[in-house]
Amino acid sequence: MTNKKIVFSGIQPSGVIHLGNYLGAIKQWIDLQDKYFSIFCIVDMHAITVQQEPEELQKNIRELAAIYLASGLDPKKAIIFVQSDVSAHTELAWVLNCNTQMGELERMTQFKDKSQRHKQNINAGLFTYPALMAADILLYQTNKVPVGEDQRQHVELTRDIAHRVNNKYGQVFEEPEALLPEVGARIMGLDDPTSKMSKSASSGNNYIAMTDEPDKIRKKIMKAVTDSGSEVKFDEEKKPAISNLLTIYSLVTEKNIKSLEKEYAGKGYGDFKKGLAEAVVEFIEPIQKKYKEYIDDQPKLEKILTNGAKEAAKLAQPTMENVRKVVGLGVAND
Ligand code: AMP
Ligand code: TRP
């Protein structure tokens, strides 16, 4: 289908999209779409592994699509679509489920985490979630999967599953690799620099949502936890909070951390946070402006996603047909 290497990634439309999602994942995608054959998905089937309100889910899908586009993903360069619009994802997921061991799934930290948090709904989908993610990736003969640190384990499992299927049935899948950003693969919570920024955090002060109003952003940053001492210095061990804020500052301004340390030498945390707040606002405002344009033009949004789904379905077909053939499934032709 193409000589270029193939990139695939996705985000769940399950609530706010925060700066960690942007810096860990989307930021890389923007650059990758120029060099690679890129496919970016809104993984709504993954989102229903936890309880979702139908109207909310529809709204979240559209909002996430608008964030993708407003961030700079370009439907002329990349395929952008919604997972459930291409049925091959769930079809392949079943076959991969039958090639994945319970023990492998039991080791997944995201499952352990989520089953702790949703004790009243530990459904089978939550458990086999990584097999669906493997299907997303393997369906397109993907080479690289740009994600944040927390998804590395899932991509490694995907690679193991691909390898196992290839050993059993011959060359069926490309064996993909995770692509992590050098800086920003794990943005920490503003209210707790020992755990990652997360949409499921108990307090909204944990994260900056991509849609937070400028004043809200300023307030959240001014409230962010800091470390003891007063020097603005990158030291992940002794100064985890300031190091996290420096990382964010550096990524939104493209200034390196050393030069930021110099800029704030002799100044206190207060000045530093003020500077950071303005830098984040300056970075997010143009994205929010474009976001609003996409949200206000639903027909355009739907057209992009519909076209994306058509293209994705076409690309997925040869892999799915081959899987059916090598596994020995089905009888009907056309
Ligand atoms: P999710 O919100 O779990 O669907 O994650 C979407 C993408 O954002 C994945 O590639 C994650 O690895 C990435 N991501 C989520 N949280 C963070 C974070 N705190 N720092 C960096 N990347 C993150
Ligand atoms: N599991 C990923 C997350 O929670 C989302 C995801 C689903 C994904 N399918 C994918 C990421 C395929 C990369 C490639 O963030």
Q: What is the block-wise mean pLDDT of the chain (334 residues), using blocks of 10 residues?
A: 90 94 96 97 97 97 98 98 98 98 97 91 96 98 97 98 98 98 95 94 94 98 96 96 98 96 96 98 98 97 98 98 97 78
For the chain, give the longest Cα–Cα distance: 75
Assign 146 to helix, strand or coil: strand
Sequence spans of domains, the chain:
6-180+298-327, 204-292
pLDDT at 240: 97
Q: Which of 4, 27, 77, 114 is catalytic?
A: 114
Residue type at position 275 = G
Pick the CATH number of 6-180+298-327 from 3.40.50.620, 2.30.29.30, 3.40.50.170, 3.40.190.10: 3.40.50.620
From the CB of 14, is ligand 1 less than 6 Å away?
A: no
pLDDT at 2: 72
Tokens of 218: 């300023």
From the CB of 82, is ligand 1 less than 6 Å away?
A: no
From the CB of 210, is ligand 1 less than 6 Å away?
A: no
Tokens of 303: 């057209």
- Ligand closest to Cα of 25 equals 1
Do 6-180+298-327 and 204-292 share a fold? no
From the CB of 197, is ligand 1 less than 6 Å away?
A: yes
Provide residues with CB under 6 Å of ligand 2: 8-12, 43, 46, 133, 136-137, 145, 147, 151, 154
To the query of whether residue 196 is one of the catalytic residues in this protein, the response is: yes
Residue 65's contacts (CB-CB under 8 Å, 6 or more residues apart) are: 42, 80, 82, 294, 301, 304, 305
CATH of domain 204-292: 1.10.240.10
Q: What single string gives the DSSP state of each residue in 192-222?
A: -TTSB--TT-SSGGG--BTT--HHHHHHHHH
pLDDT at 334: 65
Q: Which of 27, 144, 196, 273 is catalytic?
A: 196
Q: Ligand 2 atom 5: the closest Cα is on which residue?
A: 11
pTM of the model: 0.96
For residue 133, give the H/E element and its range: helix 124-138
pLDDT at 118: 86
Say how many C-beta atoms besides its own lie within 10 A of residue 52's C-beta: 17
To the query of whether residue 114 is one of the catalytic residues in this protein, the response is: yes
Q: In what order do the strands lie in the sheet with 78-82?
A: 78-82, 37-42, 6-11, 144-146, 177-179
Angstrom distance (rounded) from CA 94 to CA 108: 19
pLDDT at 1: 58
* Best of 7, 14, 21 for a ligand 1 pocket test (most atoms within 8 Å of beta carbon): 21
Angstrom distance (rounded) from CA 211 to CA 130: 29
Residue type at position 107 = R
Assign 179 to helix, strand or coil: strand
